Amino acid sequence: MSTVKQEYDVKKHFLELFRENRSVIDSGSAPLMNKQREGAIEEFERLGIPSQKSEKYRYADINGVFNPNLSKSFGVQKVSFNIHDIFECDIPDLDTNLILLVNGRYFNKEEPLRELQGGIITGSLARASKDMPQIVEKYYNSAASTEDDSLVALNTAFAQDGVFIYLPKDAVLEKPLQIVNIMIHETDLMAQHRNLFIAEENSSAKVVVCDHTLSPNKFLTNGVTEIYAASNSNFDLSKIQNEHNGSAQLSHTFLEQESESTVFTNTVSLHGGFVRNNMFVRLNGEGSENHTLGLYLADKTQYIDNYVKIDHASPGCSSRQLFKGVMDDQASGSFNGTIVARKDAQKTNAYQANNNILLTDDARINSRPQLEIYADDVKCSHGSTTGQLDENAMFYMRSRGIPEREARLLLMYAFAYEVVNQIHVKPLRLRIDDLVNKRLRGELSRCNNCAMNCE
C-alpha cells in the first residue's frame, strides 16, 4: 500500500509545484518553451509516475528515485563561486568548444549565442528560442514523444533551459563540442534540462557530454535531448556518465534521422546510483544509418538501465545496437532494446547485441532484446548473452604465467574495449580507456579534477 501512497504523493507534489511556480518557471525561460508547458503537465497528470507494472519500466523503480527531500529551483541561480576554479576538464589533448550546464541550467545565462566556424551556433536554448525562434519552434518538442512516458512530459513542463546546437547546411565542426553537466548544490537537488541539437543537410559534428557531480548531495536529473539529423548529415554523440553513487539520472534522447544520415551514439556509464537511459531513434529517410552503443560497469548497489527503441520507418535503413555490461557486487541492471521495422521498411538491416558479465552472485541483470517486424524483406537479428569470463581463455593466460587477477582484468578489459574502441574522439577514447581500466581494477576512476572523494 505504501507504494501507492507514495506514487500519489510524487504526482501531486509536481502538480502543486507547477501551479505554484508557474510564473517563476516562465520568467526564467522563453515563450516558445512556456507554450508547451500546459499540455505537458496535463499529460503528466494523466499518466502519473511510471510504475513497474508498465512493460517499459518493468525493472526500474522510478518512484524510488523521487526523494521528497529534493529541492527544486526555478529562480535566478546564484553561483557563488567561479566554476572554472573547481572544474577544469583535464583530459590531455582534448581540444573542445566547452559548454557548461550547472544544475541543468546554462552556466552563463547572459552570454549571447556563440557563432563557431561555418555559421555553427551554440548557446543556451532559452536564448536561442528568443533569438532564432523560427528554427527552435520548428523542432522544439516535436521529436520528443511522451508515448506513455510521463517523465518526458514532466521535463517539458518544467525545463527552463539547456544546450542548443545548430549546424547549418554543409557546416563541418572540426573541434568537438563538449557539454559538461555539473551538479553542485548545498542541498539535495532535482534538475531538468532540455537540449536541442539540429544538424542540417551535409553537416557534421561530434559532441561529447560529460556528467559530473561536484558536491556530495543527492541529485536527480531528468533530462531530455532532441536531435535532428537531416539528409547526409553526420552526427556523433559520446556520453560519459560519471556522477557519484548518491545521484540518480533519468535521461531521454530522441533522435530523428533523414535519408543517408549517419548517427553514432555511445553511452558509457561508469558511476551513478540509479541510471536510466531512454533512447528513441526514428529512421525517417531512406538509407539512414544508426549506431547505438553502450557500456555499463556497475558495482556496489548501482542500478543501470538502458532502454533503446529503433524505429525503422523507411526502407533501406540500417541500425546496430551493441550494449555490454559488467556487473559487480550487488549491482543490478537491465537492457531493453527494440527494433521495429514498419510495414514499408523493406531492406531493413538491423542488428542488436547485448552481452553481460556477472561477477558475483548478488549481481543481477535483466535483458530484453526485442524485435517487432512488419516488413518481409528484412534482415533483423539479435543476440543476448549473460555469463562469466571464458574459462578457456583464462586457462590460456594462466598457463602462460599471467596471474589470475591480471588475466581476469585483461579479459574484462577486452570485453569492454569493443565499445570503447568506437568512441570517435581520440583523446576522449584514451581517457575512457584509462577510466575503464581503473574502474575494472577497482581504483578510483573519476576524473582527476573531481574534488569529491565520494564512494
Residues in contact with another protein by CB under 8 A are: 55, 343, 346, 356, 358-388
- Cα gap 207→95, rounded to integer Å: 12
- Cα gap 290→293, rounded to integer Å: 10
Alpha helices in 100-192 (DSSP H): 125-131, 133-139, 150-158
CB-nearer residue toward another protein: 351 or 417: 351
CB-nearer residue toward another protein: 128 or 378: 378
Residue 365: CB minimum distance to another protein, A? 5
CB-nearer residue toward another protein: 190 or 380: 380
Alpha helices in 280-384 (DSSP H): none
CB-nearer residue toward another protein: 142 or 360: 360
Tell me the residue type at 14.
Answer: F
Length of the chain: 455
Q: Is residue 267 within 8 Å of 294, Cβ to Cβ?
A: yes
Residue 311: CB minimum distance to another protein, A? 14
Residue 320: CB minimum distance to another protein, A? 15
* Structure letter (DSSP) for residue 95: -
- Cα gap 78→358, rounded to integer Å: 44
Residue 415: CB minimum distance to another protein, A? 15
CB-nearer residue toward another protein: 56 or 429: 56
Could you tell me which of 172, 199, 227, 238 has the C-alpha nearest to residue 426? 238
Residue 245: CB minimum distance to another protein, A? 21
CB-nearer residue toward another protein: 110 or 361: 361
Task: Write phi, then psi, for 448 (nearest 5 degrees).
Answer: -65, -25
Residue 358: CB minimum distance to another protein, A? 4
CB-nearer residue toward another protein: 108 or 367: 367
- Cα gap 223→192, rounded to integer Å: 5
Residue 359: CB minimum distance to another protein, A? 6
CA 142 to each of CA 93, 110, 318: distance values in angstroms, whole numbers, following the listed order = 37, 27, 23
Could you tell me which of 155, 101, 91, 152 has the C-alpha nearest to residue 123? 101
- Cα gap 433→421, rounded to integer Å: 8
